[in-house]
Amino acid sequence: MKTMKRNGQPLRADTALTLPSLVAQAGYHIRARLPYKPSSHRYDITLCRQKSFIWFRVPKVCTRTILYGLLDSGIRLDAEHPYGVYYPVEETKQFFKFAFVRNPWDRIVSCWKDKVLERNLYNLPESKRQDFGAFLSYVETLDLDRCDGHLRLQSTMIDLNHVDFIGRYETFSDDLAVVLRRLDVSPDKFPRRNTSAKSGSYTTTYANPTFIDRVARLYQKDISIFRYSFDT
């Protein structure tokens, strides 16, 4: 996994939320003995007591823009970007919880271009790296509830029982403005970063219409929950 950096320095991928409930990261078997009730699942979160919020991070959905913007705004984050942690449900009951999602057909194309064409993160044979259909065949072998976050079902990365606001990549500026107003943060520190807009529309990757159906089967749950269609 590539280390995220800001001003040349690695961001803290810590899990030091300074909450006793994070002992729960060791496993479910100790949950009953904890003074704080941890979440039922692990999430990639960014937590801030200063502004009382939790952000459920979903890869390939403007995470750099949001994280760097929060840091550049001078907000003190108690956890910058820990991965796979239980968070304290009861203690953060009043926190504003938000997330951003993206059209699954678009998101998987972005992942293919970034993680396969540029980096070959998944070690596909060189003869198949340029073949989006071959990449889909690889994804079809995965457990999308537990695999690498860039390919995982977005609905598994958000605590849907407790989230207050879910923004969309497709309306990112407007939805981010909603979040920033809620946090009383200026939008001036949030220039769009790492955007894939320069790569062109994702729809051009689907010249073979069977690819559309294959992605629909893979991400049926996200498509249903977040009400996406191919050309959203």
% of the chain beyond a pLDDT of 70: 81
Note whether residue 99 is domain-resident.
yes
Whether 37 is in a domain gets the answer yes
For 140-185, write each residue's pLDDT tens digit. 999 999 999 999 999 999 999 999 999 999 999 999 999 999 999 9
Q: Looking at the 3D structure of the chain, how many domains does it have?
A: 1
pLDDT, residue 28, reads: 37
- CA-closest candidate to residue 159, choices 48, 76, 45, 32: 45
Residue 75 lies in a domain: yes
How do strand 9-10 and strand 5-6 relate by DSSP bridges? Answer: antiparallel
In eight-state DSSP terms, residue 37 is P
Is 90 contained in some domain? yes
**In-domain check, residue 139:** yes
Candidate from 102-106, 179-183, 187-191 with smallest mean pLDDT: 187-191
Instruction: Tell me what pLDDT residue 11 has.
Output: 67
Residue 197 has pLDDT above 50, yes or no: no
Interatomic CA distance for residues 166 and 17, integer angstroms: 23
Whether the Cβ atoms of residue 81 and residue 57 lie closer than 8 Å to each other: yes
Q: How many CB atoms lie within 10 A of CB 232?
A: 15
pLDDT of residue 105: 98
196 within some domain: yes
Is 230 in contact with 105 (CB distance < 8 Å)? yes
Ramachandran quadrant class, 7 (left: phi over 0; alpha: psi -120 to 50; beta: rest) = left
Paired residues of 99 in beta bridges: 56, 166
Q: Quick check: 231 pLDDT over 80?
A: yes
In a domain, 232, yes or no: no
Q: What residues pair up with 48 in beta bridges, in sequence order?
A: 53
| Spatial CB neighbours of 225, under 8 Å, sequence gap ≥ 6 | 155, 160
Percent of the chain at pLDDT exceeding 90: 73
By residue range, what is the domain housing residue 40?
A: 5-225
* Residue 173: exposure state from Cβ atoms within 10 A (0-12, 13-18, ≥19): exposed
Query: Cα–Cα distance between 127 and 228 in angstroms, integer?
Result: 32
On whether residue 80 sits in a domain, the answer given is yes
As beta bridge partners, residue 9 has 6
pLDDT tens, position by position, 43-100? 999 999 999 999 999 999 999 999 999 999 999 999 998 999 999 999 999 999 999 9
